[in-house]
Structure 1
Amino acid sequence: MEQSELNSWAEPLVRTVGVEEEFLLVDRHTRQPVPRASEVLAGAAPLLGDLVQSEFYSCVVETCTRPTVSLTDLSHQLVELRSHLAAAAREEDCLLLGSATPIIPPDRPIPVTQKDRYLRMAAHCRAVVDGVEGPTCGCHVHIGTYDKTEALALSGHLRPWLPALQALSANSPFGGGHDSGFASRRTVEFGRWPSAGPPPLLDRAGYEAALDDLISTGVVLDRRSLYWYARPSEHVPTLEIRVADVNADLHSTVLVAALARGLCAALLTDLRDSRPAPSVPDSRLRAAHRCAARAGVAGFLPDPLTGQLVPAHWLVERLLDRAVPGLAAAGDLPMVLSLLARHFRLGTGADRQRACYHRTGRLRDVVDATARLTTAAM
């Protein structure tokens, strides 16, 4: 690597952070997902413009914050985006739902959004398209700015930490109207798409060659269809971390974003010092992600670095320890310590959805509680 590249990784330590959140639209009366995204987006566009957009399924809408260095600003943006989008949803007799899978399934398959690229994706991956359990909602964290060379180097160092972030954000226990047995059913459903999974260890040349091969062999449709859990963004100069479920609780979203940025900042020292990324077997990484999807932070995961089965919350705490230098440099450490303590006390989004169902025995109540939490301010 050139010395200029190493210097670029050293400064500035505090990078920008941005968040994309996907939300379900559910009918206010039935609490089932409904294909009203185009109507809701038309109502939201005068205020939010390009900060809201459609997604693959016509019951899902997405918000995008602007990049910022301040967690307080990020929180304010998320509150505003959710508030305006929820208001537009109400005009179409919908609730905005921060759940990564439908709590109550639709009574008929949700159609694919009528946009050229989505229709081509549906034709290309016909076996994956399922409008009943297929609609899922993720939370994507963008850390920047990085060019592709930097982002790829950093993603290699991030690989062992991604299962812990996934476990922390789990918020999709229900599938098909029943408890799926997973804390993140979204991981299972989304994992059916080609290329979804941990990022491989690649330099820039290897990345371009791998991507060309995936496209030319028909594994993926185009460059934007690469669904690794961490990847260089194809439309902005960021590292995009795509492993998290969307969460109704805004505190959880901010916590995941802050930990991701703090961890990236801390790992930059490894890049600056020319330390190689840990060589972790893909099979072990996939096992860790599978365990994180099943149990969230309440279960055990194989430690990606050692293979030893350890409590998931222990890996989250170790991630925090590793991220401390980056969190401190950004002034985020006190907030993150408070948010993480709160998160462990209340449980993941999946824990809270299940607790609501156990109290009332009604999925409609879980939908209502989740919808209220989606638009609650911090």
Structure 2
Amino acid sequence: MLLVDTRNGRPRSVSGQLLVRAASQSTPVAGVGVHGAVEGEFQQQQIETHTAPVADLQGLRCEISRWRGEAAAAARDTGCNVAPLATSPLAVRPIAARSPRYAWMVDRYQLTAREHLTCGCHVHVSVESDEEGVGVLDRIRVWLPALLALSANSPYWNGADTGFASYRSQALARWPSWGPADHFGSAEEYHRLVREMVLSSVILDEGMIYFDARLAQHYPTVEIRSADVCFTVEEAVVVAALCRGLVETAAEEWAFGKEAPAVPTQLLRLAAWQSGREGLGGRLIDWRSGLPKPCWWVLGSLLDHVGPALQAAGDLEVVQEGLARVQEEGNGAMRQRATFARTGRLVDVVAESVRQTPTRVQA
């Protein structure tokens, strides 16, 4: 999430100060083995929140609220607010956090790195093995553009309306390892490609595998990375539930030997571009036909696909209600533009996003 000045809404490079305050203010949660956290990110004008692993959506809702609240409380002591925006509506000159890794990235990627300031929503879902994980990756790749459209929350960039619902997706396209991945077929092929990418020296290490979904480095999970940071806690809960539904459905298909969809990666790139451009304001690419369809038809198809998994997890009603709310009220991109249309001031867009952040730490 962005760290923005309380007076004018502009991003401020205070993540180092915020992390010190977050460490001193964080309150423990009894009975939790793996804790969430507030952590730094690539640029000093942003912060990352992690949630502890949970099994149900109510637990996830509390975790997201708690850690957004922790970040907000620490930010207030630095004269800042936390804004759940995927890009900055107001002009900003990003300043990279101090670390050898980030210094290497700035030197290697030059203007791409110097201009990069985006915030995403990454969802981890557990898998039993790398083989199952790659089987999942091969089967969910066709649905990830729909998640981008649903979560789109970055229409503005450096003081201008970009014409995109998710300009974050365009900024990420400048990085060499970003985007939809090919069909792998096996964990061996996945790891072979990752090794070759690292050995190419174009990227620094495995942490720079920026696929829309990948095997996580440090956890036994599939990490789905396609979504913008979500405008509200409830939208984040819906996106996470859909991700779990996709992984559970794909794992079952893999276990029963159902073939993964044979969709060319280039078509998925087109679908991702279309999702970033239109969001929920137009038509998305239906991967089955390769043709544009109304956005809510495509999202309805996604819900039908994962419906049995959502029902089994007890998540279906929450997702249905959440999607209905987004259809009525709009996602982050639509809400940002509605605020600007009403006031004509981008600072009000930032202020409205700040109001979505929990103001109290949720225990």
User: Structure 1 length normalisation: TM-score?
Assistant: 0.90
Structure 1 CA distance, aligned partners of 2:276 and 2:338? 18
1:63 paired with 2:45, answer no
Q: Which moved more, 1:353-362 or 1:147-156?
A: 147-156
Structure 1 CA distance, aligned partners of 2:108 and 2:199? 13
Structure 2 CA distance, aligned partners of 1:42 and 1:259? 34
Q: Which runs of 4+ in 1 moved over 4 A?
A: none
Question: What residue identity is the alignment partner of 1:94?
Answer: C
Question: What residue identity is the alignment partner of 2:43?
Answer: Y
The Cα shift of 1:146 comes to 3.7
1:42 paired with 2:20, answer yes
Question: What residue identity is the alignment partner of 1:180?
Answer: T
How large is the RMSD of aligned CA atoms in angstroms?
Answer: 1.5
The Cα shift of 1:163 comes to 0.7
Alignment partner, residue 79 of structure 2: 93
Structure 2 CA distance, aligned partners of 1:247 and 1:146? 28
Question: What residue identity is the alignment partner of 1:359?
Answer: R
In the TM superposition, 1:95-244 aligns within 5 A as 95-106=81-92, 109-131=93-115, 134-202=116-184, 203-244=186-227
Residues 81, 211 of structure 1: CA spacing in aligned structure 2 closer, same or farther, 3 A cutoff? same
Question: What residue identity is the alignment partner of 1:32?
Answer: R
Q: Secondary structure at the match of 1:301?
A: strand
Does the 8 Å contact 1:51/1:63 carry over to 2? yes
Structure 1 CA distance, aligned partners of 2:316 and 2:117? 35
Alignment partner, residue 30 of structure 2: none
Structure 2 CA distance, aligned partners of 1:111 and 1:297? 32
Question: What residue identity is the alignment partner of 1:350?
Answer: A
1:54 to 40, 43, 52: 40
Alignment partner, residue 5 of structure 1: none
Does the 8 Å contact 1:146/1:239 carry over to 2? no
Does the 8 Å contact 1:291/1:299 carry over to 2? no
How many residues are aligned here?
352
Structure 2 CA distance, aligned partners of 1:375 and 1:118? 30
For 1:129-148, what per-residue CA distance to the aligned partner results, in whole angstroms no more than 9, with x for missing partners? 124xx200000000013432
Q: Which moved more, 1:282-291 or 1:138-147?
A: 138-147
Does the 8 Å contact 2:72/2:81 carry over to 1? yes
Structure 1 CA distance, aligned partners of 2:36 and 2:203? 26
The Cα shift of 1:305 comes to 2.1
Alignment partner, residue 73 of structure 1: 59
Question: What residue identity is the alignment partner of 1:77?
Answer: E
Structure 2 CA distance, aligned partners of 1:146 and 1:81? 28
Alignment partner, residue 15 of structure 1: none
Structure 1 CA distance, aligned partners of 2:294 and 2:201? 39
Question: What residue identity is the alignment partner of 2:38?
Answer: V
Does the 8 Å contact 1:194/1:219 carry over to 2? yes
In the TM superposition, 1:263-302 aligns within 5 A as 263-302=246-285
Does the 8 Å contact 2:106/2:114 carry over to 1? no
Alignment partner, residue 324 of structure 1: 307
For 1:42-80, what per-residue CA distance to the aligned partner results, in whole angstroms no more than 9, with x for missing partners? 101131686111101111110110111110000001111
Question: What residue identity is the alignment partner of 1:128?
Answer: T
Q: Secondary structure at the match of 1:196?
A: coil
For 1:287-328, what per-residue CA distance to the aligned partner results, in whole angstroms no more than 9, with x for missing partners? 100000001022112212221221122111110011111111
In the TM superposition, 1:16-27 aligns within 5 A as 23-27=1-5
Structure 1 CA distance, aligned partners of 2:246 and 2:73? 35
Does the 8 Å contact 1:168/1:296 carry over to 2? yes
The Cα shift of 1:358 comes to 0.1
Percent of matched pairs sharing the same residue: 38
Structure 2 CA distance, aligned partners of 1:212 and 1:123? 22
Q: Secondary structure at the match of 1:92?
A: coil
Does the 8 Å contact 1:124/1:221 carry over to 2? no
1:248 paired with 2:231, answer yes
Alignment partner, residue 334 of structure 1: 317
Structure 2 CA distance, aligned partners of 1:230 and 1:241? 4
- For structure 1, which runs of at least 5 residues remain unmatched after alignment? 1-22
1:84 paired with 2:70, answer yes
Does the 8 Å contact 1:187/1:293 carry over to 2? yes
Q: Secondary structure at the match of 1:113?
A: coil
Q: Which moved more, 1:202-211 or 1:283-292?
A: 202-211
Does the 8 Å contact 2:238/2:319 carry over to 1? yes
Residues 84, 376 of structure 1: CA spacing in aligned structure 2 closer, same or farther, 3 A cutoff? closer
Q: Secondary structure at the match of 2:10?
A: coil
Q: Secondary structure at the match of 2:140?
A: helix
Structure 2 CA distance, aligned partners of 1:150 and 1:376? 40
Structure 2 CA distance, aligned partners of 1:310 and 1:248? 25
User: Structure 2 length normalisation: TM-score?
Assistant: 0.94
